[in-house]
Structure 1
Amino acid sequence: MNIFDIPAQAWAGQILIGLINGSFYAILSLGLAVIFGLLNIVNFAHGAFYMMGAMATWMLGNYLGLGYWASMLLAPLLVGLVGIVLERLFISRIYHLDHTYSMLLTYGMTLMIESLFRNAYGTSGLPYSAPVALQGGTNLGVLFMPNYRLWVVGAAVAVCLATWLLIEKTRLGAYLRAATENASMARALGINVPRMLTLTYGCGVGLAALAGVFAVPVYGANPAMGSDLLIVVFAVVAIGGMGSILGSIVTGLVLGLMEGLTKVVYPEASTTVVFVAMIIVLLVKPTGLFGESR
């Protein structure tokens, strides 16, 4: 097919879908980058925490009658607390060990968390409606776009930029970086290093849960939803640079767009374009586009 024969509606539709997917990639890979960049932990449980955010939103609505906006605050907080407990019990014991141990530990945590939810709720998706204020759509000229999806793009970008500013431009961010880069010096300055590490992990987990909150009105809640997305998110982090917060944000959005545009030109390649991009980038720059040698 000649790309010039493709109607403008198809291009515009896939660009917007790519932005939506890219928003999820960006916020999920951001949480992974925070945990790896500051704690040096490869967190394979990230997809499970994303799923827990979606499931927590569904449970808060169905069991407690809480709406979307309340769940957007409570679900990341609850899942973040679960992450803090797991960090204190297990992850804090392996900071000094090789990455292999964190991969095995967090993968085991993933299997246990997913099994618990699968046994309780099965494997079928659980529907969740978008909030009334964001229902309906907006006419963008070339297509009619659901308001909720436009909200997801804007909210995800805002969260990503706020996180980057917090870590890179504030005193709290400086304390976090100091606690992870030079723990002895940080202790000498009066910083409670274990508390800062725990806070970092909890915040990274909370970001994954927030992505789950954003996702549940679009995809529903499903115990397997984290595993389905995690491998793509790891590819995004690898391309952007392991531990690079800005790299994760930019790469997530760009790869979402690339995936969407590929569906217009050659749909069969849309599921592999991210991994092809990863291979090319890592061959040229093994540390990723924004990564630095450790």
Structure 2
Amino acid sequence: MFELLGIAPQVLLGQLLLGLINGAFYALLSLGLAIIFGLLNIANFAHGAQFTLGAFVAWMLLHYLGINYWFALILVPVLVGLSGVLVERLLLKRIADADHLYGLLLTFGLALVIQGLLRNAYGATGQPYDIPAALRGGYNLGFMFLPTYRAWVIVVSVVVCAGVWLMIEKTRLGANLRAATEKPELSQALGINVPLLVTLTYGFGVGLAGLAGVLAAPIYSVNPNMGAELLIVVFAVVVIGGLGSILGAIVTGFGIGLVEGMTKVFYPQASSTAIFIIMVIVLMLKPRGLFGRGA
């Protein structure tokens, strides 16, 4: 079949695998964005900058303190998540009762500040971050050579996404989070510390962006614009999956990566616009997204 179209099966399978790798980043970033929007109703336009911050913090820990990749995987999400806690406590909390447009503008401004500070400190050119020795090399799959590190990214993304979904949908903590956002007054009356849950939820979503930044550092050049380039795509993924839908963000993230891979095979010129065409079609047919729920 593929030979009739002039396409070698190896090329298609290779592009699908590359698309799955991109989808792993889309899913992880979309997951954090969906958590923040779904539980806090905040359109976090600083998410791309916080992803960039995660990559830079990992680079700085290695460059200045000699802290390697494995420790960075643990430290960076915590540090970036704590920065999110400060942002929520010092900035977002003050406009919690204002129109949602203020939150959008505030996080957009915060993104510009983070990108500007990093650009002034390190310039616009990228900083290299070496792949850890244990994850170098790769596997010959017959149709392509799969680098070990990229396989690692896919595995980590799947495990983290599945774990977070289970935590939010199947545990008491997740039930408390949903209750605190849907019925805050009633939850407060029942003894749930709603302000603390809101703060920790935002910090957790930001921490996921920081984790994605660490995973991306050895693949992409660590530069101030790396998050801005992904943010538009990630927002499109969240819209297609359904605003605030955790499962929608995960499934759509991986799915869009695969669609991009196939588009590069059959019609490469449309690979950068295919996701937005899909978004328009989905919004026309299902305005709340594929997995979106009613108001």
> How would you bin the TM-score normalised by the shorter chain?
over 0.9
Which stretches of structure 1, 4 residues or more, deviate above 4 A after TM superposition?
Answer: none
**Residue by residue, what CA displacement relative to the aligned partner does 1:128-177 show, whole Å, maximum 9, x if unpaired?**
11111110001112111100000101110110010000101111111111
Gaps spanning 5+ residues in structure 2: where?
none
Q: Where in structure 2 are the equivalents of 1:152-231 lying within 5 Å?
A: 152-231=153-232
Contact 1:49-1:205 within 8 A present in 2 as well: yes
Partner SS state of residue 238, structure 1? helix
Please give the per-residue CA displacement for 1:185-218, whole angstroms capped at 9, x wherever unaligned.
Answer: 1111111111000000000000011111110100
> Shift in Å at residue 95 of structure 1?
2.2
How far apart are residue 102 of structure 1 and its match?
Answer: 1.1
2:152 aligned partner, one-letter code: W
With over 3 angstroms needed to count, the CA separation of the structure-2 counterparts of 1:277 and 1:117, relative to structure 1, is same
Question: Whole-Å Cα distance in 2 between the matches of residues 163 and 238 of structure 1?
Answer: 19
Q: Which residue of 2 aligns with 1:285?
A: 286
User: How many angstroms does 1:98 deviate by?
Assistant: 2.2
- Structure 1 gap segments, 5+ residues each: none
| Bigger Cα displacement from structure 2, 218-227 vs 95-104 | 95-104
Percent identity over the alignment is 60
Assess if the C-alpha contact under 8 Å between 1:40 and 1:95 holds in 2.
no
Q: What is the Cα-based RMSD across aligned positions, in Å?
A: 1.1
Query: How far apart are 1:87 and its partner, in Å?
Result: 0.5
TM-score, normalised relative to structure 2? 0.98
What are the within-5 Å matches in structure 2 for residues 80-91 of structure 1?
80-91=81-92
Aligned residue for 1:266? 267
With normalisation by structure 1, the TM-score equals 0.98
Note the C-alpha offset of 1:2: 7.2
Mapped to 2, the partners of 1:14 and 1:55 lie a distance apart of 29
Distance in 1 between the 2:229 and 2:287 partners? Answer: 25
Q: Secondary structure at the match of 2:67?
A: coil
Distance 1:189 1:293 in 2: 26
Match of 2:233 in 1: 232
Q: Which amino acid aligns with 1:200?
A: T
Partner of 2:73: 72
Deviation at 1:3, TM superposition (A): 6.2
Distance 1:261 1:286 in 2: 25
Superposed CA offset, 1:52-101 (max 9, x none): 01001111111110111100000111010011001000111222222211
Q: Deviations over 1:228-277 (max 9, x none)?
A: 11000000000000000000000000000000110011110000000000
Deviates more, 1:189-198 or 1:2-11: 2-11
Q: Tell me which residue corresponds to 2:249.
A: 248
Q: Which residue of 1 aligns with 2:144?
A: 143
> Quick one: structure 1 residues 5 and 90, their matched pair in 2 at CA, closer, same or farther if it must change by over 3 Å?
same
Amino acid in structure 2 at the alignment position of 1:75: V
Which residue is equivalent to 1:48? 49
| Separation of aligned partners in 2, 1:52 and 1:3 | 47
1:19 and 2:38 equivalent?
no
